[in-house]
């Protein structure tokens, strides 16, 4: 399978500031690929470089095997969906969707047919004559997607397209986006700082931090087998205990931390003496105290969220340790202030370089 988009040692600098540092990636044909990272880590910059609005300082972008150097945004086989959508307010829904075709000189009859098809795809069949301002947030979103798809791009680039929507609509649009992507089979490159969004929609995720890529993998990989402390802490909730490795044996590492000595899987083969952080997911932390590794402290808070409850314990150095349990069993959590014991098994913990 050929790569739809190949990013080859890409560096982007603004003056002295390096926004993207030596990023190399291959994005496959028909893939739903996400960039996930905190605000300001360079996600938009990468997207703008792929679409041609930003020139690379170093490195090469190839789309469908072709070097994009010197090819303007209006000549690239990409379509960008902007963070604020950037629909044309003076045009109707149909005119917006048909704009790219009109620019290409497609005859009106063909254009109308294509626009109708796309209106159908986004379930707005009878609303082509509406003005943009008459649409709801989710409808605008879908029009922006249809407008981008109209020009039949090889790659669709989406810059946090759901960030302006409320929670319910966002969840609905996730499914919708994924469904549209499956139907049209176009490569989607999706940007988000919302890990839930990235995990639910993507085939693969690149986790970014300060301009470089920390890890690339599918959602499960990134969540269950983080390669770096940043990924472990950024993707999903995590309890982290930092200290020094004192013993390594049988694929496990022993880490001496402020809260005690814990064992965890030594996935990065750290040596004795290395600084390390041991991570335990809240859902793998047990509050009944069953496990080889034990943390004592005082009950602080039980945040009930319906399906789950987050139990927070204040450990002896007054840091918080969280255990997430199924909602119904939460009643057993003791009163705030009384002592509790959390525990986890060593196979559920991961030791990563700090």
Partner 1 sequence: MLSSTGHPFIFLLPVLAIAAFWLMAKFEKKEAGLPRRSFFERNGTPVAIYLIVAVAFWAIFMIVLPQLFMVEMSFRPKLPPIEMGGPKDLYTFENYHYFLYGSTTSNAAINWLHLKAFSLTIFASVCAALFNFALSYPLAFYMAQVAKPARVRFLLLLLIAPYWVNEILRAFAFRIIFSSSGLINKTIMAAGLVDQPIDFIGNDIALYTGLGYAYMLMMIFSLYNAIETLDHAQIEAARDLGAPWWHIHAFIVIPFAKPGIASGCTLVFMLSAGSLAAPLVLGGPRSLWFTPILYDRFFQAFNWPQGAAYAFILLLTCVSFVLLVLRLGRLNLGEIAK
Ligand X SMILES: Nc1ncnc2c1ncn2[C@@H]1O[C@H](COP(=O)(O)OP(=O)(O)OP(=O)(O)O)[C@@H](O)[C@H]1O
Strand, coil or helix: what is 277? Answer: strand
Which one among 26, 28, 53, 310 touches partner 1, defined by CB under 8 A? 53
> Phi and psi of 18, rounded to 5°?
-100, 110
Which one among 45, 96, 277, 309 touches ligand X, defined by CB under 6 A? 45
The sign of the torsion formed by the CA atoms of 286, 292, 293, 298 equals positive
Which tokens go with 152?
């039949």
| CA dist 49 → 28, 142, 144, 268, 319 (Å) | 18, 24, 20, 33, 41
Residue 34 binds Mg ion, judged by CB under 5 A: no
The CA distance from 21 to 11, in Å, is: 5
Residue 192 binds Mg ion, judged by CB under 5 A: no
Q: Are strands 32-36 and 204-209 parallel, antiparallel or unpaired?
A: parallel
Per-residue string for binding with partner 1, 72-111, x by CB under 8 A?
Answer: xxxx--xxx-xxx-xxxxx--------xx--xx-------
Q: Which stretch binds partner 1 (CB under 8 A): 11-19, 68-76, 126-134, 322-330?
A: 68-76
> Phi and psi of 148, rounded to 5°?
-70, -40
Residue 44 binds Mg ion, judged by CB under 5 A: yes
DSSP state of 180: H
Per-residue string for binding with ligand X, 135-174, x by CB under 6 A?
Answer: ----------------------------------------
| Contact present, 216 and 206 (Cβ < 8 Å) | yes
Interface of this chain with partner 1, residues 204 to 243, rule: CB under 8 A = none
Q: Are strands 212-217 and 239-249 parallel, antiparallel or unpaired?
A: unpaired
* Kind and range of the H or E run holding 167: helix 167-184
The minimum distance between CB 151 and ligand X, in angstroms, equals: 24
The minimum distance between CB 41 and Mg ion, in angstroms, equals: 9
The minimum distance between CB 144 and ligand X, in angstroms, equals: 17
Interface of this chain with ligand X, residues 279 to 318, rule: CB under 6 A = none
**Between 44 and 293, CB nearer to Mg ion:** 44
Q: Which residue has the tokens 């808070």?
A: 301
The CA distance from 207 to 25, in Å, is: 12
Based on C-alpha coordinates, what's the Rg of the chain?
24
Residue 19 binds ligand X, judged by CB under 6 A: yes
The minimum distance between CB 159 and Mg ion, in angstroms, equals: 6
Residue 51, binding choice from ligand X, partner 1, Mg ion, none, Cβ under 5 to 8 Å by partner class: partner 1
The minimum distance between CB 83 and Mg ion, in angstroms, equals: 6
**Between 233 and 294, CB nearer to ligand X:** 233
Residue 14 binds ligand X, judged by CB under 6 A: yes
Which tokens go with 174?
């996730």
Residue nearest to Mg ion (CB): 44
Strand, coil or helix: what is 34? Answer: strand
User: Of 206, 156, 204, which is closest to residue 37 (Cα–Cα)?
Assistant: 206
Q: Which stretch binds ligand X (CB under 6 A): 39-47, 149-157, 296-304, 305-313?
A: 39-47
Which tokens go with 248?
């390594």
- Contact residues: partner 1, CB under 8 A: 51, 53, 72-75, 78-80, 82-84, 86-90, 99-100, 103-104, 147-148, 150-151
- Contact residues: Mg ion, CB under 5 A: 44
- Contact residues: ligand X, CB under 6 A: 14, 17, 19, 37, 39-45, 193
């Amino acid at each position: 399978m050929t790569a739809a988009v190949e990013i080859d040692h890409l560096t982007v600098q603004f003056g002295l500031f390096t926004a993207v540092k030596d990023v190399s990636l291959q994005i496959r044909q028909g893939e739903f690929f996400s960039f996930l990272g905190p605000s300001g880590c360079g996600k938009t910059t990468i997207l703008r470089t792929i679409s041609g609005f930003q020139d690379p300082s170093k490195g090469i972008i190839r789309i469908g095997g072709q070097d994009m150097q010197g090819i303007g945004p209006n000549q690239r086989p990409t379509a960008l969906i902007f963070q604020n959508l950037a629909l044309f307010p003076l045009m109707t829904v149909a005119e917006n969707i048909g704009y790219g075709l009109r620019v290409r000189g497609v005859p009106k009859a063909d254009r109308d047919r294509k626009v109708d098809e796309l209106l159908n795809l986004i379930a707005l069949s009878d609303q082509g004559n509406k003005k943009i301002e008459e649409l709801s947030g989710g409808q605008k979103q879908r029009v922006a997607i249809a407008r981008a798809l109209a020009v039949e791009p090889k790659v669709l680039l989406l810059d946090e397209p759901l960030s302006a929507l409320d929670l319910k609509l966002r969840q609905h649009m996730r499914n919708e986006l994924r469904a549209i992507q499956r139907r049209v089979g176009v490569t989607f490159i999706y940007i988000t700082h919302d890990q839930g969004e990235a995990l639910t929609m993507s085939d693969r995720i690149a986790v970014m931090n300060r301009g470089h890529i920390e890890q690339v993998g599918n959602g499960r990989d990134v969540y269950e087998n983080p390669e770096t402390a940043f990924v472990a802490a950024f993707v999903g909730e995590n309890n982290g205990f930092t200290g020094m490795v004192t013993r390594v044996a049988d694929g496990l590492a022993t880490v001496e931390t402020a809260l005690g000595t814990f064992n965890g899987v030594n996935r990065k083969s750290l040596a004795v003496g290395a600084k390390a952080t041991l991570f335990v997911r809240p859902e793998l932390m047990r509050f009944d105290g069953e496990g080889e590794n034990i943390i004592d402290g005082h009950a602080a808070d039980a945040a009930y969220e319906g399906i789950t409850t987050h139990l927070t314990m204040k450990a002896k150095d007054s840091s918080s340790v969280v255990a997430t349990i199924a909602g119904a069993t939460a009643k057993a959590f003791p009163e705030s202030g009384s002592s509790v014991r959390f525990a986890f098994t060593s196979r559920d913990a991961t030791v990563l370089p700090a």
